[in-house]
Amino acid sequence: MNKLLRSGLNIGSSVQSLLKSLTVKSSNQIQVKPIPDSIAESKTPIITYPWLLSTSKMRQEEPTFWSTIKQRELLYPEIERVQTHHLKKPTYDFPYYFYDDIKEVIEELFLVDLVSGTSECNTMVKSLNNIFAFEFMELKKNNITLEFDFKTEDNIPEFNTRLVQVLCTYGAYPIPPGYVAQVWPTYTLVVPEEELLFKSYDYQKKLQKIAMDEGVYIKVDTQLTFTNGVEFILRDKNGTVFFRDYRKRIDVQFCTPHFTPWDEIYELDSEGNWQLRFKWRVSDIDYLISGVFLEEYG
Residue 6 resides in a domain: no
Domain that includes residue 280, residue range: 13-285
Residue 298 resides in a domain: no
Q: Which residues of 85-158 form beta strands (DSSP E)?
A: 145-149
Is the pLDDT at 180 greater than 60? The verdict is yes
Q: Encode pLDDT of 192-223 as tens digits.
A: 999 988 889 999 999 999 999 999 999 999 99
Amino acid at 177: P
Half-sphere exposure of 149 (CA within 13 A, CB side): 11
Predicted confidence band of residue 185 (pLDDT cuts 50, 70, 90)? confident
Residue 54 resides in a domain: yes
Question: Considering the chain, what is the average pLDDT of its residues?
Answer: 85
Asked if omega into 90 is within 30° of 0 (cis), the reply is yes
Q: Which residues contact 260 (CB under 8 A, 6 or more apart)?
A: 213, 214, 215, 216
Is the pLDDT at 243 greater than 60? The verdict is yes
Into how many domains does the chain fold? Answer: 1
pTM of the full predicted structure? Answer: 0.82
Is the pLDDT at 298 greater than 70? The verdict is no
Residue 290 resides in a domain: no
SS3 of residue 217 by DSSP: strand
- Give kind and range of the element (H or E) at residue 170: strand 159-170
The DSSP string of 220-262 is EEEEEEEEEEEEEEEE-TTS-EEEEEEEEEEEEEEEPPPB-TT
Predicted confidence band of residue 7 (pLDDT cuts 50, 70, 90)? very low
- Return the pLDDT at 292: 57
Predicted confidence band of residue 45 (pLDDT cuts 50, 70, 90)? low
Among candidates 70, 79, 81, 75, which has minimal Cα distance to 189? 81
Is the pLDDT at 274 greater than 70? The verdict is yes
Helix axis angle, 126-141 to 13-20, nearest 10°: 170
Residue 295 resides in a domain: no
**8 A C-beta contact, residue 235 and residue 223:** no
Residue 238 resides in a domain: yes
As a whole number of angstroms, the distance between CA 117 and CA 141 comes to 12
Is the pLDDT at 47 greater than 80? The verdict is no
Residue 100 resides in a domain: yes
Predicted confidence band of residue 13 (pLDDT cuts 50, 70, 90)? very low
Residue 251 resides in a domain: yes
Mean pLDDT within 121-129: 93
CA distances from 86 to 81, 83, 89, 101 (A): 8, 6, 10, 16
Higher pLDDT, 139 or 33: 139
- The alpha carbon torsion through 173, 191, 216, 296 (nearest 10 deg) reads 40
271 C-beta neighbours (distance < 10 Å), count: 6
